[in-house]
Amino acid sequence: MHKLSKFLKQQMHPQPQLQAAQPQTSAPSLSQDMAFPTELDFYRYRKQRGINLGSWFVLERWIADSPFRLAAAPGQSDLDVARGANAQAVLEQHWDTWITEDDWAWIAQRGINTVRLPIGYYHICGADPSVLPGTDFAEYAHVFAGAWDRITKAIATAHRYGLGVLIAPGKQNADPHSGTSSSPTFFTNPYNMSHTIHVLSALLWHLTAFARSHNPPLPNLVGIELLNEPHHHETLQTWYLDAFRALRAVDPTIPLYIGDVWMTDQYADFLSGAAREFAVIDHHLYRCFTQQDISTSVIEHTRVLSDPNEWTPQMFARVAQKLEGSGCAIIVGEWSGGLNPGSLQGIGNEDQARRQYIEAQLRLFDRWCAGWFFWTYKKEQKGDKGWSFRDAVEAGVFPGRVGLSPRRPFTDDPERTIRRDQARNAALGMIPKPLEPRRLTE
């Protein structure tokens, strides 16, 4: 992650063992007394350049319509699908076909190094049935029981392609991608707040147990997001602190991500002040929903994102520097090339304008953030160059590759090889040794 050296130094010390979320069982922490840095360190603290795997488990009809073909009215959420006909078969068919081996390979070839995976608490029931009682999904355990094996398979498959996985469970608003089409009751019902902490603890415990079931343990779980896009409420920060304590008791090393309710400065102060916790702020940035966004041209959107004197770049600079001082960081967990048609009026070459808009965002995020995740990987209906990463890449409005370029063979340049190895040794704190010139052949 971006400039987290203080925290990384702390990882050189032995970590306490994992305390089980389940009273019957315990499991050791993934963080062992090993030489630093470990493979796990690289996955968790490199700059995350990622995509969201939207509508794989938490469905959104505008992304993938087919799972809703037999859904009950109003036909907009996971619960509507669960209440419809043949729900288990419909969902399992979608889970097994939405992201395939070819998708994982294509993603990795683009330089993407992490995926953000939204799931619902009900998707955990196959591992822990205690997450369902007292919820809207209590009678649908049979529908969602198969999700857990597919989620853990996704983590293992991602590892084969060198991809990290950020798990983003839950939702606290009235949007259908909260899992239901009903009004949110997270803050109005104390049970929901405490139950969510139970769900998060169970999720982390089972993810850690799954990772350790491999030999060697899977190192590519990069973090857990506590609550996706919460609304502002006076009790949210207190709830975050309660969740921090509960999850640190399960695994004290796991990076925890929190939504900033679009009050980024305030939550940067929260993490660097009262919270005093290592955590990552997840900021979502779109420029297509408000009346001001609609009336602003894509050219002006691009200029504002590129000008360091404008509010958004100044906010990122201010927050990133503040968080760095407390060992924390900021990511943009959701963003896109999506624009309202009003922003494209009178634009001659829309693809060129959209490409410049996307590149301006990439430069800004790479400059100040620990990572970013484009929303979303793909859509069932082809051709959306603003919201579908795959379509945007194939249309040339998103770079064909991000991050570091693939390694190419060096010419036989002994001095260059020595300089490279000396820089590597210095970065890793290794004792310099006499080096024989050698050539990379990858």
> pLDDT at position 433, please?
41
> pLDDT at position 29, please?
56
Q: Which of 441, 368, 363, 370 is nearest to 113 (CA)?
A: 370
> pLDDT at position 183, please?
59
**At 40, phi and psi to the nearest 5?**
-60, -40
> pLDDT at position 250, please?
96
User: Of 110-119, 185-194, 430-439, which range is least confident?
Assistant: 430-439
> pLDDT at position 431, please?
47
pLDDT 10s digits, 135-157: 999 999 999 999 999 999 999 99
CA 366 – CA 1 distance, rounded (Å): 11
Confidence of residue 322 (pLDDT cuts 50, 70, 90): very high
CA 297 – CA 275 distance, rounded (Å): 40
> pLDDT at position 182, please?
58
pLDDT exceeds cutoff 50 at 4: no
pLDDT exceeds cutoff 70 at 107: yes
CA 292 – CA 290 distance, rounded (Å): 5
Q: Which of 371, 279, 278 is nearest to 332 (CA)?
A: 371
In total, the chain counts a number of residues equal to: 442
- Rg (C-alpha) for the chain, rounded Å, is 22
pLDDT exceeds cutoff 90 at 442: no
Q: Which of 261, 263, 345, 343 is nearest to 303 (CA)?
A: 343
Q: Is 78 exposed, middle or buried (0-12, 13-18, 19+ CB in 10 A)?
A: buried
> pLDDT at position 428, please?
59
Tell me how far CA of residue 306 lies from CA of 187, 319, 357, in angstroms. Answer: 38, 17, 9
DSSP string, 241-254: HHHHHHHHHH-TTS
111 neighbors 163 (Cβ within 8 angstroms): no
Percent of the chain with pLDDT over 90: 70
> pLDDT at position 247, please?
96
CA 94 – CA 59 distance, rounded (Å): 10
CA 156 – CA 150 distance, rounded (Å): 10
Confidence of residue 424 (pLDDT cuts 50, 70, 90): low
pLDDT 10s digits, 377-395: 999 999 999 999 999 999 9
Beta-strand ranges (E) seen in 43-162 are 48-52, 114-119
> pLDDT at position 288, please?
87
CA 331 – CA 316 distance, rounded (Å): 10
Tell me how far CA of residue 77 lies from CA of 175, 322, 381, 410, in angstroms. Answer: 9, 38, 18, 53
158 neighbors 203 (Cβ within 8 angstroms): no
- Dig out the tokens for 68 from the structure: 């809703």
> pLDDT at position 289, please?
86
Q: Is 404 exposed, middle or buried (0-12, 13-18, 19+ CB in 10 A)?
A: exposed
> pLDDT at position 415, please?
61
User: Of 32-41, 189-198, 395-404, 414-423, which range is least confident?
Assistant: 414-423
User: Of 271-275, 304-308, 367-371, which range is least confident?
Assistant: 271-275
Beta-bridge partners for 334 = 284
pLDDT 10s digits, 13-43: 333 333 333 433 444 455 544 566 899 999 9
Rounded to 5 degrees, what angle do the CA atoms 64, 65, 71 make? Answer: 125
pLDDT exceeds cutoff 80 at 411: no
Phi-psi region of 332 (alpha: psi -120 to 50; beta: other; left: phi over 0): beta
> pLDDT at position 116, please?
98
Confidence of residue 173 (pLDDT cuts 50, 70, 90): low
> pLDDT at position 232, please?
80
> pLDDT at position 282, please?
97
Delineate the domains of the chain, giving CATH numbers in brackets.
5-406 (3.20.20.80), 411-442 (no CATH)
CB atoms within 10 A of CB 264: 19
Confidence of residue 189 (pLDDT cuts 50, 70, 90): confident
> pLDDT at position 272, please?
85
Percent of the chain with pLDDT over 70: 79
pLDDT exceeds cutoff 70 at 317: yes
CA 261 – CA 140 distance, rounded (Å): 31
Say which residue, 183 or 134, is predicted with more confidence. 134
